[in-house]
Amino acid sequence: MRIVFIGPPGAGKGTQAVLLAERLGVTHLSTGEVLRAARTSGDPLGRQAAEYLDDGRLVPDELVVKLVADRLAAEDCEKGYLFDGFPRTLPQAQELDRLLGERGERIELALEFVISFEELTARLGKRGRSDDGEDTVRRRLEVYASHTRPLAEYYNQRGVLRRIQAVGGVDDVTRRVWRAVQHARSGDS
């Protein structure tokens, strides 16, 4: 199955992505994780991405799309994949569709994690990642609202969007995620 997760930072996407990818036996692809690892190892991609990561701004589309295109070419993506944190802009979504079209594939489920601003700021304050400082968090939430949230409508028009409430315990959210997957698989939209 081919899935994208859409949701603001702090919505629990990463946790759910790991669980769902394992359950479905598909590859989990977090562009944020790849970029952070590239920065730590000091490779050219990491050096180009570092300033954006630290400021909570989006890394330029070309860099991220290249990263994803390379990653999709790997053998472990043949069994399906779950994108976590990608696409984050309309051009990224369009480019992803183009890449998938070349492979004769398409996104079957776009899952939007819905959560209030108040809940998010409370959660992010507790997380302690290096880009979780107050100003950076605010910028990342703004970037989400202006650039990424509109992608839900993009996928809605393609008939693959499902929304879940991302509040409550991890197990509650996991159950909602699974229900959405089952609906998508049965074609019941």
Q: What are the residues binding ligand AMP (CB under 6 A)?
A: 9, 31-32, 35, 52-53, 56-59, 64, 85-88, 92, 131, 140
Measured from the CB atom, the residue of 28 and 88 that comes closer to ligand AMP is 88
- Min dist CB 100 to ligand AMP, Å, is 15
Of 145 and 182, which CB lies nearer to ligand AMP in the complex structure?
145
Q: In terms of CB distance, is 86 or 113 closer to ligand AMP? A: 86
Q: Which single residue brings its beta carbon nearest to ligand AMP?
A: 32
**In the complex, what is the shortest distance from the CB of residue 58 to ligand AMP, in angstroms, rounded to a whole number?**
4
Of the candidates 71, 69, 84, the residue with the CA atom closest to the CA atom of residue 4:
84
- Minimum separation from the CB atom of position 183 to ligand AMP (A): 25
Shortest distance, position 66 Cβ to ligand AMP, whole Å: 11
Could you give the CA distance from residue 56 to residue 136 in angstroms, rounded to a whole number? 5
Structure tokens at 158: 């393609």
Distance CA 182, CA 175 (A): 11
12 vs 160 by CB, closer to ligand AMP: 12
Query: Which of the 8 DSSP states describes residue 57?
Result: P
φ, ψ for residue 21, nearest 5 deg:
-60, -40
Cα–Cα distance measured from residue 110 to residue 161, given in angstroms and rounded to the nearest whole number = 5
Beta carbons of 108 and 189 less than 8 angstroms apart = no
Nearer to ligand AMP, 40 or 189 (CB): 40
Distance CA 85, CA 79 (A): 20
Q: How far is the CB of 41 from ligand AMP (least distance, A)?
A: 15
Q: What is the CA radius of gyration of the chain?
A: 16
